[in-house]
Structure 1
Amino acid sequence: MFKPNSIIIYVKNVDISTDFYTKLFAQEPIETYPGFAVFLLKDEFVLGLQQADEITPKAPKHYGGFELSLSDVTKDEVDKIYSEWRKLNLKIELEPQMLDFGYTFVANDPDGHRLRVCATDTSNFA
């Protein structure tokens, strides 16, 4: 059975991205190597940062196109995280607002990967 235990995102500069995620997560990476860093997220799930021009096989010229999402928070926690991320000068793509699926906002990391925080409304899910 395939149950992923990590996600690796390609970045332009692993040092800049490592510094960014260290501040964002308020924790140091659990491992670093030349061109690569690993953060422990939740329940043994890890986030890897890979220098895009050092990956084998070579990464496509365009990378990204996904979101890291935090959706097990309350509306008040969404606002608190938004305030904290504004203080860290994250680029905000979507200001906090109610959408069909819940109260949410979206920011970007240095490579344009989306970071979504959402108090998901599961009342209509069956």
Structure 2
Amino acid sequence: MPNFSFLILYVDNPPKSAGFYADLLGRPVREQSPTFAMLPLSDDTMLGLWSRQAVEPAATGAGGASEIAFTVADAADVGELHREWAARGLAIAQAPTAMDFGTTFVALDPDGHRLRVFAPGAGS
């Protein structure tokens, strides 16, 4: 079975999105061109940012329909990251909330993709 190693988001401006994610996550951009950028999410997983105008075959559907989830240790970490990301000016789609799976909040990247932060089990 193949290994999961890459997540690709279709974006309007790959260099701009790469700068956003590099700054937000504190990770270096590994590759960048006008139509594609790439940076590590972890040691084993890369984030690709591909121009929605250049992707082959052409992408269909609304932009910003994807979600990336980040796990933190506890509800206090959820609240702390929420405050930090809101202070950076990220749009917040969902304030910290206790849900069945834990405590979570959702921010949006420049293309409207959801960035979910959660602490498993912390809200149940």
Please report the TM-score for the alignment, with normalisation by the length of structure 1.
0.88
1:28 to partner: Cα distance: 2.4
Taking every aligned residue pair, what percent have the same amino acid on both sides? 37
Q: Paired residue for 1:12?
A: 12
Matches within 5 A, 1:52-71: 52-71=52-71
Residues 4-26 of structure 1: CA distance to partner in whole angstroms, max 9, x if unpaired?
20001000111221221122112
2:77 maps to 77
- Tell me what 2:107 maps to: 107
Amino acid at match of 2:47: L
Instruction: Flag the 1:83–1:72 CA change in 2: closer, same or farther, 3 A.
Output: closer
The equivalent residue for 2:87 is 87
Provide the rounded CA distance (Å) in 2 between the counterparts of 1:78 and 1:90: 15
Could you tell me which runs of 5 or more consecutive residues in structure 2 were left unpaired when the two chains were aligned.
Answer: none
Deviation (angstroms), 1:65: 2.0
Partner of 1:36: 36
Cα deviation per residue 1:29-57 (whole Å; 9 max; x = unaligned)?
11112311111111320000001101111
2:72–2:119 Cα contact (<8 Å) kept: yes
CA–CA separation in structure 2 for the residues paired with 1:71 and 1:32? 27
Residue by residue over 1:57-104, the C-alpha shift from the partner in whole angstroms, topping out at 9 and shown as x without a partner, is 111152342210012432121111111101110000000121111111
Q: Does 1:50 align with 2:50?
A: yes
Equivalences, count: 123
Query: Secondary structure at the residue paired with 1:53?
Result: coil
Q: Determine the C-alpha separation between the residues in 1 that align with 2:36 and 2:107.
A: 23
Aligned counterparts of 2:27 and 2:3: Cα–Cα separation in 1: 25
